[in-house]
Amino acid sequence: MATAIIYGSSTGNTEKVAELIEDELGDLVDEVLDISDVTADDMNSYDKLILGIPTWDEGQLQEDWETFFEDEMDDVDFNGKTVAIFGLGDQEGYPEYFLDAMRPIYDKVIEDGGTVVGFTSTEEFEYDESKAEVEEGKFCGLAIDEDNEDDLTDERVEDWCDQIRKYFE
């Protein structure tokens, strides 16, 4: 059962969080990959995935994820896979679109019959709207705001890894 962390990152924040998650989960993670180097076949070869995406340009996918969605995503099959999603956004700068880019990943996994683990509470965030809030009061994964709350990132990652570890053992 192989596990990969796969992220897209335009200014390095999501890459940093991917590395923090790798440090926390240690040997449970086999590979850490940038989405710009990944094909659908690569993604299909993992049973378990931890997928990281920042939201850009008012609710849009990060550019490398956008390319992956355009060229590869139709050939990915999440059926039977366990997936955890982490998203980066800016709740003060983009309160109408906070973490929106997590949603298309969530929707695709669910549509294919995969399982998304690692929901977190929306409680400590202040925003107006978020497509990542898939249930009342719940984001579909880990929410990180490096723009306004980078001092909370380490603790948020640790808590989340404690929550999801059992699914990746």
Ligand X SMILES: Cc1cc2nc3c(=O)[nH]c(=O)nc-3n(C[C@H](O)[C@H](O)[C@H](O)COP(=O)(O)O)c2cc1C
CB of 150 to ligand X, least distance (A): 9
Q: Give the whole-angstrom CA distance, residue 138 versus residue 70.
A: 28
> Closest CB to ligand X among 3 and 55?
55
> Closest CB to ligand X among 55 and 122?
55
How many helices (H) and strands (E) in the chain?
5, 10
DSSP 24: H
Q: Which stretch in 21-29, 40-48, 85-93, 107-115 sits in contact with ligand X by CB under 6 A?
A: 85-93
> Closest CB to ligand X among 129 and 159?
129
Residues contacting 22, CB < 8 A, separation 6+: 5, 29, 32
Mask: binding to ligand X, 3-42, rule CB under 6 A, as x and -? ------xxxxxx----------------------------
Mask: binding to ligand X, 143-162, rule CB under 6 A, as x and -? ---xx---------------
Distances (CA, A) of 164 to 61, 129, 156: 24, 26, 12
Does 65 engage in binding with ligand X (CB under 6 A)? no
Tokens linked to 119: 């929901």
DSSP β-bridge partners for residue 86: 52, 142
Cβ count within 10 A of residue 95: 15
What is the binding site for ligand X (CB under 6 A)? Answer: 9-14, 54-59, 62, 88-90, 94, 97-100, 146-147
